[in-house]
Structure 1
């Protein structure tokens, strides 16, 4: 397999990876993005009818205008925006190519993918966190009726649905399925709907629960999943509920093993925050940079498109100074 030489390898073609590529292009650096899935793969896998919390101008990269029909854009509008940014700037991206291994060399890095071998002076990892769900770790979680991702409501019409969690994704799924004719029960570990739920959605879910349209068990967890029912632990003891599908939207986490394999170190406080210099975004591995949500470790709510867009310029400036 022939090696390919680049100044920069960017891993991940999400919005922040695209922003990093734009910074490399502005500086005439030889770069390529390697993405294991589709362009903006995480956004592509969001629910079909999702609306962003951020307004469109806060999702813009490289000062390229993002025009949406409403102040808060939809998934489809975001896909169109980032696709147009990519194609109109002729960014160098290899889609459906998975990075398998990263090794430090005297001159930089050797990167092995499932298709090629690359030599690079610098690496930027912008892989996000959406690929690995937080599991419930209960009996029956491996049944085909259990989903850790939610796309649309139609398949769940006239079915008994358990939605696990009280975050934005859980609330959106519960409301949409209820309005498409599903019988929705929410299983919530805490004692209330999450405070970070979109401000225009939170009153809706609270009202639906209070009127009984959507059932909710607070301070509760699923104990076991069976083909036609679930068993939950509640403050009032175990309950058995009729169930056709479980949608467990309990969050996601970065691929820590991938980072560890590349030599990145993490905080020992249980948050698994990777070691990086906030002034340069360079990790403890010299020449390896981190960008986007991955910088937050298990605190996946800390970084998002709106506040991590700046990482691309910070990294671009430092790379330009050190190459």
Structure 2
């Protein structure tokens, strides 16, 4: 079995960047990805647009040509998957990494399809695969969705949207415009300040005019087959008719996988321990790249500001 210089876990934009940087420096590598290329992006809402402009999403010095100022999901899929094809990136798809451990100075990586050995590992797994659960009664009912793709299934339905971030706001506006009766249940006192600046006035105006019902400082308590129960800012209980619940409560990294790989997690946000200058964790030769570095604070890192991780990691590996 060949011992690789680097095994990269996760084939998203940052994982691809790490692969390009490794190859540029003549290091042997492979990406192991449990889904398709840029799998998380593939599962984004169909009409999602990035906050960043195209040049800030570029990787490997390869231009990202977009027809709009801010690229959408499909353009990004074409760009990143196109890079993987044209650059002939060494990537295994639909293969899940199940276990990582060390024997002396070499990592053993067991997957759903085989076993690998590598001198170094880069974990670049993002955070989109594990929903941040509400842990309330009825959350397991079929009408509850933690992922939103498009509005058409919700036409003429009574929808509860939980949350006030970009995903919640997009879901509320799009389903409303396809004829849904939308109620937003929001823990905070206002729409999130992180909502895209060109969308925020739209949702605030729809709420102000009463087209979308919104309860601030509110909490969803129970989901039933035909209704939901929640309390408002005054503590008053409400039960309203409901067909679907779109729980846009965010997503989390796979903390169990990180811990089982030997990485220490710190504080309430379960921040992985790593050196901010090299991206090396407390496990020697095991690195983190991209959104996974932020623990529960998934808004800390994104493509635009974590592209640099690839060069930092590869330079540290070469320096040893």
Residue aligned with 1:250, SS: coil
In structure 2, distance between residues paired with 1:32 and 1:235 = 51
Residue aligned with 1:259, SS: helix
Give the TM-score of the pair, scaled to structure 1: 0.98
Q: How does 1:259-270 map to 2 (within 5 A)?
A: 259-267=258-266, 269-270=267-268
**Aligned residues of 1:282 and 1:288 also touching (Cα < 8 A):** yes
What's the CA shift for 1:305? 0.3
Question: Which residue in the other structure is 2:169 paired with?
Answer: 171
Residue aligned with 2:287, SS: strand
Q: How does 1:212-227 map to 2 (within 5 A)?
A: 212-227=210-225
Question: Which residue in the other structure is 1:21 paired with?
Answer: 19
Q: How does 1:23-62 map to 2 (within 5 A)?
A: 23-62=21-60
What's the CA shift for 1:235? 2.3
Residue aligned with 2:55, SS: helix
In structure 2, distance between residues paired with 1:228 and 1:34 = 42
- Equivalent of 1:104 in 85, 102, 105: 102
In structure 2, distance between residues paired with 1:56 and 1:227 = 43
What's the CA shift for 1:190? 0.5
In structure 1, distance between residues paired with 2:233 and 2:192 = 19
What's the CA shift for 1:38? 1.0
In structure 2, distance between residues paired with 1:206 and 1:238 = 24
How far does the alpha carbon of each residue in 1:93-131 deviate from its partner, in whole angstroms, 9 at most, with x for none?
000000010011213200000111101000000000011
Question: Which residue in the other structure is 1:256 paired with?
Answer: 255
Q: How does 1:108-119 map to 2 (within 5 A)?
A: 108-119=106-117
What's the CA shift for 1:5? 2.6
In structure 1, distance between residues paired with 2:317 and 2:51 = 32
In structure 2, distance between residues paired with 1:87 and 1:321 = 30
Question: Which residue in the other structure is 2:186 paired with?
Answer: 188
**Aligned residues of 1:108 and 1:287 also touching (Cα < 8 A):** no
What's the CA shift for 1:216? 0.3
The question of 1:202 aligning with 2:200 is answered: yes
Gapped runs of 5+ residues in structure 2?
none
In structure 1, distance between residues paired with 2:2 and 2:108 = 10
How far does the alpha carbon of each residue in 1:32-79 deviate from its partner, in whole angstroms, 9 at most, with x for none?
000011110100000000000000100000111001111100000000
Q: How does 1:263-278 map to 2 (within 5 A)?
A: 263-267=262-266, 269-278=267-276
In structure 2, distance between residues paired with 1:230 and 1:126 = 37
RMSD, matched Cα: 0.8
**Aligned residues of 1:34 and 1:97 also touching (Cα < 8 A):** yes
In structure 2, distance between residues paired with 1:245 and 1:7 = 48
Q: How does 1:80-159 map to 2 (within 5 A)?
A: 80-159=78-157
Question: Which residue in the other structure is 1:79 paired with?
Answer: 77
In structure 2, distance between residues paired with 1:65 and 1:103 = 38
What's the CA shift for 1:311? 0.2
In structure 2, distance between residues paired with 1:183 and 1:5 = 57
Gapped runs of 5+ residues in structure 1?
none
Count of residue pairs the alignment pairs up: 319
Question: Which residue in the other structure is 1:232 paired with?
Answer: 230
What's the CA shift for 1:168? 0.4
